[in-house]
Amino acid sequence: MNKSALRFVAGNGLLDRRAFLKSGYGLSLAAAIGLSPAGRVLAQGEPPMPAWMTSLGGADVEYGSPSAHERQVLRQLQPSTAQTAGFSIWHSPLQHQRGSITPSGLHFAVHHNGIPAIDPERHQLMIHGLVERPLRFDLERLIRYPMVSRIQFLECAGNTAANALSPTARNADCQALFGQLSGAEWTGVPLSYLLREAGVKAEARWVICEGADGGSHSRSLPLTKLMDDAIIAFYQNGERLRPSQGYPLRLFVPGWEGNVSVKWLHRLEVSDSPVFSKDESGLYTRILSDGEILAFGFPMEVKSVITHPSGQQQLPELKGFYEVSGLAWSGLGRIAKVEVSADNGHSWAPAQLHAPVLDKALTRFSIPWQWTGAATTLLSRATDALGNTQPSRSEWRSRYAAHSFNHYNAIQAWRVSSSGEVENVYA
Amino acid sequence: MNKSALRFVAGNGLLDRRAFLKSGYGLSLAAAIGLSPAGRVLAQGEPPMPAWMTSLGGADVEYGSPSAHERQVLRQLQPSTAQTAGFSIWHSPLQHQRGSITPSGLHFAVHHNGIPAIDPERHQLMIHGLVERPLRFDLERLIRYPMVSRIQFLECAGNTAANALSPTARNADCQALFGQLSGAEWTGVPLSYLLREAGVKAEARWVICEGADGGSHSRSLPLTKLMDDAIIAFYQNGERLRPSQGYPLRLFVPGWEGNVSVKWLHRLEVSDSPVFSKDESGLYTRILSDGEILAFGFPMEVKSVITHPSGQQQLPELKGFYEVSGLAWSGLGRIAKVEVSADNGHSWAPAQLHAPVLDKALTRFSIPWQWTGAATTLLSRATDALGNTQPSRSEWRSRYAAHSFNHYNAIQAWRVSSSGEVENVYA
């Protein structure tokens, strides 16, 4: 290791990225090799060429899949939901992902009533209530409206509930703890176009948004937000929505708790008040520690998690270089800053934010780390463009009534033991 | 239609986007509906609720797939390659995609020697030649280096060859003509890190990059470019590369013709000169019209295509509103401008570029269009941040020798007949 590369920016081995990467450093991760005099042939003692280098390869297919060697990278069914007919929660494998796009096949999903098998030729979207012209669209016509695309995150209100609820930190991986979170490019028709065409009446304030699933999942949403940036989404990551994500169409409400982006959307009723559907008065209302009820608190607060290294991973070498990498997001705007601590919060250094840093989108952060080998705790703390930052777990807990778990966004702590095991802890 | 919305910005119906979208316009695409007095129930004569609205839906799975109703959206094997052992070209279905991300399962691919079935535990990357320290990496170590992510396009040098070669315009769809083009988020280790660690010698100018496929696909690339922005890519759209894209690792060289982003990369030999491999002296050398040989002309030139509407589509109504939408890209930088003509080039209007507009990335553009119903020809013309713009077909043809087809980037023309058929033509 070239020592000039080791310009420390915070305690316990966090490194200055520029000095580190621009130097002629060595991570000591490669094996030096001896070459024969010809310089191009393989070294002595080298195993023979593998079969795939000495024969023609196999055929491709019309729709590709991951390698058979990556079969362990799957969505995970949250065990508590497995036995409940119709209700299921599927987590994204964040610890296996890099970048900020979640492949559509691994996007998290929460289903209240299972996945309806909708025939797109029979599906319609109706807009009615406090409008001048009640309208109904079939899919073939709706899809001809002007579209926009945005890369944005979706997070379930209940993501990371275990850390909110469990008195002691549950030993679990990043997928189990944070996996109700994904990022994708969503494409569709701005809802404002359709509402303007229907002619919203002056007294309108809310829109009741209902899905075509068996249980008619429905939420009341403020008209202002729907006119601002909500879309009727048809495409995710360049192809039509998958059934799990609302095929043939869903509402997508940027930055707000996932369940209001109503899947399989078929009805929008413009109203002067919310409807207090079972879905909003029950599951998604919060109670503050002073007993106040927080209904219709939609935006997901600023949050971050280190995905590499993270819970239940095993560091392959017991000291030396690691890149600390993770995701940050805020339902209120862009991520402005992510700080990382490698000494349980005694000192912090700013991580690099990887471009593009987009509004209400997953933002990848990273910082190089020279691990001494001693046990320590890694933390990340995100701040958004509005200046909101993450609370500690105790600060978060003191804000909400006992047994609260929605919108948990406290600073996450991963303990790294001297034997290289990474574990979820409360800092 | 609210006539105030129709502020024209170019001939034959191209509309001002802001005036169009901000007005209380009606696209006349919805059916007005009569509601019962209660206001919430379905209209009289409405068919009964479909079964999916009155019962619990189905279960989800660990790795999701597109809807069964979208089974026609597939990559397409270029027919001329179907019978050639090992060599195949698969086209992306651009006319079915929206936004700027291509789903990994639909990413285009050109295989010179089929897909090798590589065991990632046995795969290594070697760096040798004009370096101080020849190095060999196994995958487990290489993947611990710091990574970057970038959303960028990949295009085959031979994309749109039919329009270069065929004396009369071939009646084909956007996928067949332009489908050797895709966009994705690529994540990996900057090659500069590894070359610095190996210690490149002063006389080094080139790097010979070789794949582990049976035919050892290899290209010589200038050291400057590889030090600038090339990466060893491990991830595409958040998950590990698929076999078709080079699993377990590939070179990714932003903006340059696709074949130099060597898949299944296993060897980098630093050199003072190119090696003139079969792959570079044969397929990918160009001949100019004056007989000059253009070898090592790597960057893909600025280009665009309207995907909606495009070849062999049938417009569902024979006049009225359509969004004209397409993709633009340049291997030399960001897209600065896309102009659209709805009157075969007599007049042009700037299209909207959808954010984020990224360096060497697919950029979605769109413009609203009020079609009169008369036959016409749609064109798009992109300009990049360096001021490069697309030539006409005759300008392109006059630059290259007869039978040239690589790097074809002329302005594309789609003829719209009065019966709503869209056809590839030469403008």
Q: Output the DSSP codes for B32-97.
A: E-PPPTTSSSPPTTPPPPPGGGSS--B---SS----GGGTT---EE-GGGTTSTT-EEEE--GGG-
Beta bridge partners of B137: B125
CA distance A203 to A209: 18
Q: Which strand (E) or helix (H) includes residue A21?
A: helix A17-22
> CA angle B257-B258-B263, nearest 5°?
140
Q: What domain range includes position B393?
A: 303-425
| Alpha carbon separation from B138 to A30, B130, B145 (Å, rounded) | 8, 21, 12
Residue A280: its pLDDT value, please? 82
Annotate B56-82 with b (16+ C-beta within 10 A) or e (fewer).
Answer: bbeebeeebbbbebbeebbbbbbeeee
* Single-letter amino acid code for the residue at A317: E
- The reply to whether residue B33 touches residue A212, judged by beta carbons under 8 angstroms, is no
Which of 63-82 (A) contact B at CB < 8 A? 63-67, 69-70, 73-77
Quick one: average pLDDT of B137-153? 94
| Alpha carbon separation from A328 to B128, B271, B293 (Å, rounded) | 39, 42, 50
| Chain B residues touching A215 at Cβ < 8 A | 56
Annotate A87-105 with b (16+ C-beta within 10 A) or e (fewer).
Answer: bbbbbbbbbbbbbbbbbbb
Q: How far is B402 from chain A (nearest CA, A)?
A: 32
Residue B3: its pLDDT value, please? 52
> Tokens 């799957």 belong to which residue?
A74
Q: How far is B113 from chain A (nearest CA, A)?
A: 5
Answer for the pair A325, A364: CB distance below 8 angstroms, yes or no.
yes
Which of 7-46 (A) contact B at CB < 8 A? 17, 21, 23-27, 29-35, 39-40
B315 contact A CB<8A: no
- The reply to whether residue B145 touches residue A85, judged by beta carbons under 8 angstroms, is no
Collapse the DSSP code of A299 into the 3-class scheme (helix H, G, I; strand E, B; otherwise coil) and give the result.
strand
Tell me: do B335 and B271 sit in the same domain: no
In sequence order, the 6+-apart residues with CB closer than 8 A to the CB of B90 are A60, A62, B75, B76, B77, B78, B108, B109, B110, B244
Of B267, B289, B311, the last residue of a domain is B289
Phi, psi at residue B150, to the nearest 5°?
-145, 140
A-B contacts at Cβ under 8 angstroms = 378
Beta bridge partners of A136: A126, B31
Nearest CB among B35, B113, B149 relative to A354 is that of: B149
| Chain B residues touching A59 at Cβ < 8 A | 88, 114-115
Tell me: do A120 and A196 sit in the same domain: yes
B149 contact A CB<8A: yes
CA distance B202 to B204: 6
- The reply to whether residue B135 touches residue A86, judged by beta carbons under 8 angstroms, is no
Tell me: do B139 and B194 sit in the same domain: yes
Enumerate residue ranges in chain A where pLDDT < 70: 1-5, 22-28, 31-47, 83-85
Domain membership flag for residue A166: yes
CA distance A217 to A207: 14
CATH number at residue A321: 2.60.40.650
Pick the residue from chain A with its C-alpha nearest to B146.
A323
For A109-236, strand residue ranges (E) read: 109-111, 124-129, 135-138, 148-155, 181-190, 206-211, 218-222, 231-236
Select the residue from A239, A269, A307, A353 to test the B interface by mutation, using most B Cβ atoms within 10 A: A239
Neighbours of B32 (CB within 10 A): 11
CA distance A298 to A256: 5
| Chain B residues touching A199 at Cβ < 8 A | 24
In sequence order, the 6+-apart residues with CB closer than 8 A to the CB of A340 are A10, A14, A306, A324, A348, A349, A350, A351, A365, A367, A378, A379, A380, A381
A108 contact B CB<8A: no
Spatial CA neighbour of B144 closest among B188, B99, B114, B178: B188
| Alpha carbon separation from A90 to A99, A176, A393, B158 (Å, rounded) | 20, 9, 25, 42
A323 contact B CB<8A: yes
Nearest CB among B52, B66, B116 relative to A116 is that of: B52
| Alpha carbon separation from B318 to A127, B315, B421 (Å, rounded) | 26, 7, 10
Answer for the pair B198, B268: CB distance below 8 angstroms, yes or no.
no
Alpha-helical segments (H) within A223-285: 223-228, 278
Nearest CB among A60, A120, A215 relative to B244 is that of: A60
- The reply to whether residue A74 touches residue B62, judged by beta carbons under 8 angstroms, is yes
Tell me: do A284 and A336 sit in the same domain: no
Of B289, B314, B343, the last residue of a domain is B289
Q: Exposed, middle or buried by CB within 10 Å (0-12, 13-18, 19+), for A332?
A: middle
User: Which 8-state DSSP code applies to residue B259?
Assistant: G
Pick the residue from chain B with its C-alpha nearest to A17.
B146
A240 contact B CB<8A: yes
Domain membership flag for residue A53: no
- The reply to whether residue B102 touches residue A238, judged by beta carbons under 8 angstroms, is yes
Domain membership flag for residue A2: no
- The reply to whether residue B242 touches residue A66, judged by beta carbons under 8 angstroms, is yes
Tell me: do A310 and A269 sit in the same domain: no
Domain membership flag for residue A16: no
> CA angle B213-B216-B220, nearest 5°?
130
* Confidence band for B122, pLDDT divided at 50, 70 and 90: very high
Q: How far is A165 from chain B (nearest CA, A)?
A: 26
Select the residue from B46, B144, B231 to test the A interface by mutation, using most A Cβ atoms within 10 A: B144
Spatial CA neighbour of B329 closest among B155, B93, B134: B155
Tell me: do B226 and B329 sit in the same domain: no
A387 contact B CB<8A: no
Residue A28: its pLDDT value, please? 63
* Confidence band for B42, pLDDT divided at 50, 70 and 90: very low
For the cut 50, the answer to whether the pLDDT of residue B219 exceeds it is yes
Spatial CA neighbour of A414 closest among A400, A427, A401, A396: A427
CA distance A130 to A272: 8
Q: Which strand (E) or helix (H) includes residue A22?
A: helix A17-22
Pick the residue from chain B with its C-alpha nearest to A93.
B239
Spatial CA neighbour of B2 closest among B21, B10, B12: B21
Pick the residue from chain A with its C-alpha nearest to B114.
A57
Number of domains present in the structure of chain B: 2
Domain membership flag for residue A17: no
Tell me: do A116 and A243 sit in the same domain: yes
Residue A40: its pLDDT value, please? 41
In sequence order, the 6+-apart residues with CB closer than 8 A to the CB of B95 are B173, B174, B175, B307, B308, B310, B311, B313
Neighbours of B183 (CB within 10 A): 28
Domain membership flag for residue B17: no
CA distance A28 to A8: 19
Residue A35: its pLDDT value, please? 52
Residue A118: its pLDDT value, please? 97
Tell me: do A284 and A334 sit in the same domain: no
Which of 125-144 (A) contact B at CB < 8 A? 126-129, 133-138, 140-142, 144
* Dihedral angle over CA of B41, B45, B51, B52, nearest 10: -50
Spatial CA neighbour of A158 closest among A237, A66, A90, A70: A90
The pLDDT tens digits of the residues spanning B385-421 come to 999 999 999 999 999 999 999 999 999 999 999 999 9
- The reply to whether residue B216 touches residue A53, judged by beta carbons under 8 angstroms, is yes
Beta bridge partners of B135: A32, B127
Of B289, B314, B348, the last residue of a domain is B289
- The reply to whether residue A65 touches residue B242, judged by beta carbons under 8 angstroms, is yes
Which of 263-302 (A) contact B at CB < 8 A? 266, 269
The two tokens of residue A278 are 């079972």
Nearest CB among A53, A60, A151 relative to B88 is that of: A60
Domain membership flag for residue A84: no
Tell me: do A256 and A125 sit in the same domain: yes
* Single-letter amino acid code for the residue at A263: K
| Alpha carbon separation from A273 to A119, A204, A206, B37, B240 (Å, rounded) | 32, 8, 6, 19, 47
Q: How far is A334 from chain B (nearest CA, A)?
A: 13
Tell me: do B280 and B335 sit in the same domain: no
Annotate B203-231 with b (16+ C-beta within 10 A) or e (fewer).
Answer: ebebbbbbbbbbbbbbbbbebebbeebbb
Sign (positive/negative) of CA torsion A261, A265, A271, A274?
Answer: negative
Residue A27: its pLDDT value, please? 65
Tell me: do B268 and B338 sit in the same domain: no
Among A259-273, A341-355, B22-36, B196-210, the range scoring the smallest mean pLDDT is: B22-36
Domain membership flag for residue B23: no
CATH number at residue B258: 3.90.420.10
ipTM: 0.94
The two tokens of residue B169 are 């315009």
Select the residue from A20, A63, A71 to test the B interface by mutation, using most B Cβ atoms within 10 A: A63
Quick one: average pLDDT of B28-34? 66
- The reply to whether residue B323 touches residue A29, judged by beta carbons under 8 angstroms, is no
Spatial CA neighbour of A75 closest among A99, A105, A100: A105
Tell me: do B332 and B281 sit in the same domain: no
Nearest CB among A31, A97, A197 relative to B136 is that of: A31
A114 contact B CB<8A: yes
Residue A49: its pLDDT value, please? 85
CA distance B233 to B219: 17
